Amino acid sequence: MQQLSAMDAVFLSMETPETPSHIGGLAILDPSATVDFSYTGFIDFMEARLAVCPRFMWTVQEVPFGLDRPYWVESDGLAPRDQVRRIALPAPGGPEELSELTGMLFERPLDRNRPLWEMYFIEGIQGGRVALLWKVHHCLMDGASGAGLTELLFDLQPEPAERPLVPVDDNAHAGAPASLAQMAYQAVRNGLELPAAQARHLGRALPSLGDLFGSNNAKAAAATPRASFNGKVGTRRAVAWSRISLDDTMSIKNELGVKLNDVVLAITGGAMRHYLESRSELPEASLVASVPVSTRSQDDKSIGNQISEVNVYWGTDIECPVSRVSAIHAASHVAKEDIRAGRGVDFIGLFSETIVPGALQLFMRLTASASESMPLPANAVVSNVRMTPVPVYIAGAKLEGMVPISLLAPTQGVNITLVSYCGELHFGITADPDLLPEPWLLAGAIPKALLELQESLSGLQALSA
C-alpha cells in the first residue's frame, strides 16, 4: 500500500467543484521539421515515454469520510492512449478560437476514477501548427517537478531519443486497493501524529493568524485590498497569453542589482495596474501577490510536491516602474527573511500536516461560500517556472511556444504563471471570466509594462550621465 504524501494529498482535499486542483499547459508545436508527425505517431511515442514513469497510470482510492490520506492504486486495464483525446479547432484556427477551446476544456474537473491527467491533441491551427493541451492534477506533481508529464516528452533534436531527456527518480509504488481494516489501522496511526504537527505549525502561525482572524482583523483586511477579481470563483475558465524577451528582463535585473523574480513581479504588477486603471478599478493600496516557492534541492528530480508560498507586495500603487522594482525587491527581501526565521503562516504545510482531508475539504467549501467576508492574504498568484534555454521537440515537432495554465483559489479570480523557454518568458493568464472579463487585455499589458520599465530605466540613466 502507498499513501499519498501529506503535501500531495492536500491538493485533493482543497479541491471544490468551482476550484479544481489541476494544472497544465498548452504547447504550440511546429511539425514541419518532421515528415511523419501524426496523431497515431504521437500516441505511440507518448506511450513509450510514459512507460518509464508508472505513476501517471495510477488512480486514487479515497478513505471513507476523508478520515485519512488517499492511497495510490494500480489502474485496471487502462493505457496512456486512453487519456488522450483528438480534437479539431474551429476555423479560422487563430488565437481567439484556441483560447476559447482551451478554457472550455481546462475548466472541466478530472475524473477521479481514472489516472489524474489527460491530454488533447488539437489540430486545425493556423500555419499547419498542432497544439497539445495537458491537464495534470496538482497531487501528481508541482510546477518545478523534474519529471513532469511534458518534460518526459521533450527531446533536444527532431529525431526522438531512446530515453527521456529528464531522468525519473520515483521510488513510490502503487498496489491493490486497501481494505477497510488496513485503512482504519493506518488512519489511527496517522491521527496520533497530528497533535505534534498541529502544535508545531500553530506555534509558528499564531501571530499571523491573530492578525487575520483576531482583533486586528480590520487592519489585516486593509493591508490587502480587494480587487475586482477577488470574489467568489465560479466554474468557468478563460486563458490568455503573451511573451517577452528573457534577455531584456535579465538586463534590467543586472542593471538594478535585483532578482529576476523582482523584475517579473514589477512587470506583472505594472500590467495589473494598467488593467485595473483602464477599468477604473485600481485600489489605492498595493495588491499582494502570492508567490510559490520550491523547497526541493537543485538536483532533486523526484515527482510530487515540494512547495511553500510567500505573500509579497506587488507594487501596483507605484506609477514609476523603476521605483516599483526597488520597492518589490525590498519587500521580497523582508518576506524571505521571515521564511528563514520561521515567521509567518505556511498555509500549504499547515493544511497538509494538521488537518484530516475531510475536515479540510469542508473548510474549503465554507471558505468558498464566505469568500466575500473572509480576510484576503493575497490577491493573485504569480508563479515563475524555469524550463530550458534551448529548443526542444515532442515526437519530432518543434515546441514553438508554451502557455502555462494553473488553478484558481476560492477568492482569487486570476493566476499569472510564466515559464522561461528558449530566450523568452512565456506568460499564461488563467482567469474566471466573470471576475476578470478581459484576460487578453491583461496579457497584452505585460509587454507594455516591460517597455515602460526599459524606458524609465533609460531615462534615469540619461539623467545621471
Name the residues annotated as catalytic.
138
Distance separating alpha carbons of residues 433 and 107, to the nearest angstrom: 11
CA distances 131 to 24, 26, 180, 331, 394, Å, are 13, 7, 44, 39, 11
The pairing of beta strand 288-294 with beta strand 380-386: parallel
Q: Which helix or strand (DSSP H or E) is residue 398 part of?
A: strand 397-405
Q: Who contacts 255 (Cβ-Cβ below 8 Å, separation ≥6)?
A: 457
Q: Are 63 and 70 in contact (CB under 8 A)?
A: yes
Can you read off the three cell numbers belonging to residue 448?
507594455
Helix, strand, coil percentages, rounded to 5, for the chain? 40, 25, 35
Specify the amino acid at residue 131: A
Task: Give how far Cα 198 sits from Cα of 1, 207, 260, 330, Å.
Answer: 26, 15, 35, 32
- Rounded Cα distance between 48 and 394, Å, is 13
Neighbours of 208 (CB within 10 A): 18
Cis before 92? omega within 30: yes
Q: Judge whether 227 and 376 are in contact, CB under 8 Å.
A: no
Give CA 24 to chain center in angstroms.
8
Q: Which residues of 307-320 are buried (b: 16+ CB within 10 A; e: fewer)?
A: bbbbbbbbbbbbeb
SS (H, E, C) 281-341: CCCCCCCEEEEEEECCCCCCCECECCEEEEEEECCCCCCCHHHHHHHHHHHHHHHHHHHHC
Q: Helix (H, G, I), strand (E, B), or coil: what is residue 44?
A: helix
